[in-house]
Amino acid sequence: MLMTVSASRKFENFSTWFDDLIIRARIADNRFPVKGFIVYMETGAYILEKIKNLLEDLLEKTGHKRMLFPLVTTEELFRREAEHIKGFSGEVFIVSEGREKGAERKLIIRPTSETIIYPMFKLWIRSHADLPLKIHQSVNVYRYETKATRALYRIREIPWNEAHTVHETLREAENQVREAIEIYEKVLKALGISYLILKRPDFDKFAGAVYSIAFDAWNPDGKVNQVATVHNLGKNFSKAFEIEFEKRDGSRGLAYQTCYGFGYSRVLAAIIAQHGDDRGLVLPPIVSPIQVVIIPIPFKGQEEEIMDYASEIKKLLEKKWRTTLDDRKDVTPGEKFYHWELMGVPVRIEVGPKEVAESTVTIARRDTLERVKVRLDELESKVEELMNSIISNLRERSIRMMMGLIGDAKSIDEVKKLLKERRIARIEWCGSVECAEKLKEKAGGEIRGERYDIAERPRNSCIVCGREAKKVVYVARAY
């Protein structure tokens, strides 16, 4: 069944536009009867798998070993790291072990996997020769989300990748943080997603971490979408789980650790939100289920000739690109155009009697909707050129949009005004929790952190209390 273009407009009513689009474009259906759990339909499941492949390939090229750990841990193990349990205590799903036998021991379903993985690290690590240890897994984690759930953004079953590393020295752990950031940047660049890399304030860091770095992607409704995080754990977890090793000098010591997570569903949401338009999806070629669609334009008496020509083009292109020929006879070319624009296919090829006679094709690119005529012998190189041009354009357009959303604020009222305009405020802050809480209460946004990738130094006073500012930070509403 063909689907019509939605009446909702992305920048006027983002929520309706997004919810409508993810169902019509076969991304996900959030009508599953258990709140916070969604069904990934064929388009969404395909894109998730492609994102996963991109990330896992980079992780494994940098020495991360793929593993798969159990879903549950014991309540006792979960409580080993005090800050960690404090951070997740209200969000965990709990099951009873052997309930039919009257057992009372509770099992925690992973909200994240530190307390599941680290008891094994204790068994595996004996000396410096066992380090560094770098592992990763792509799994679902479960959090009993108490806020309003939202498909892809805020859900209770979260598909993600998590990596965990163990090191001899603090310097090696710091280098690992930088490597993790570089890996995530490469994946997000391939998808054309733009974001701010922010060091979280201490009151908002990952529970049990020394510090946390987050990738906050912009969203059309002004809220930021945290797509990935990187944490330096120091010795906090190795102390709690007794991850000790024999040092090079023969003494014993606790290991340094890092962990980092990449949210597949949130990255999928960012692709849709940043690149999509009022016609539907606009997909980066690398993750699009179909990269090229061929649409025959029928003409009475030449139908067979046109179809043969279209089939020839399909054979030519499908060697390199995921190509489909829309040969449905009961659907008009215009309806097909609308359908494939909705589905975000990067390149559309139109073939009619003129193209057959001239040995040409007409190509339309999804991101700009521009159409050009190309000779058949130039087609392969032109499609290659277009695929590269599309991702470059998506990336540049997204960065321009993000930079336009950021505004400097010199007062709480200015922060409030920017947030009302669905933008992100950059402010100068003294670093106190009291000022952060007051700002959130009066303006409605939260301090997301300071830039990690570039140095921004304050020149004035804190916009909340008037004391000397210590940091330049970004304020936004968040999912």
Cα distances from 474 to residues 199, 330, 340, 456, in angstroms, run 10, 53, 38, 11
What are the DSSP calls for 264-305, one per residue? Answer: HHHHHHHHHHHH-BTTB----GGG-S-SEEEEE---TT-HHH
CATH T-level fold of 292-386:
Rossmann fold (3.40.50)
CATH of the domain spanning 14-275: 3.30.930.10
Q: What is the pLDDT of residue 106?
A: 85
Walk along the chain (479 residues) and give the pLDDT tens digit of each residue: 344 445 679 999 999 999 999 999 999 999 999 999 999 999 999 999 999 999 999 999 999 999 999 999 988 888 876 666 666 767 889 887 765 555 567 899 999 999 999 999 999 999 999 999 999 999 999 998 767 789 999 999 999 999 999 999 999 999 999 999 999 999 999 999 999 999 999 999 999 999 999 999 999 999 999 999 999 999 999 999 999 999 999 999 999 999 999 999 999 999 999 999 999 999 999 999 999 999 999 999 899 999 999 999 999 999 999 999 999 999 999 999 999 999 999 999 999 999 999 999 999 999 999 999 999 999 999 999 999 999 999 999 999 999 999 999 999 999 999 999 999 999 999 999 999 999 999 999 999 999 999 999 999 999 999 999 999 999 999 99
CATH code given to domain 406-476:
3.30.110.30
pLDDT at 3: 44
Q: What is the pTM of this model?
A: 0.95
The one-letter amino acid at 279? R
Q: What pLDDT was estimated at residue 78? A: 85
pLDDT of residue 103: 58
> Would you kindly state where each structural domain of the chain is located, as residue ranges?
14-275, 292-386, 406-476
Q: In degrees rounded to 5, what are phi and psi of residue 193?
A: -90, 135
Neighbours of 400 (CB within 10 A): 11
The per-residue pLDDT for 101 is: 56
Backbone angles phi, psi at 326, to 5 degrees: -85, 90
Cβ-defined contacts of 172-179 (< 8 Å, 24+)? 172/132, 172/256, 173/232, 173/233, 173/234, 173/256, 173/257, 173/258, 174/232, 176/132, 176/134, 176/258, 177/213, 177/230, 177/232, 177/258, 177/260, 179/62
Q: What's the CA gap between 230 and 173, in Å, rounded?
A: 11
The pLDDT of residue 31 is: 94
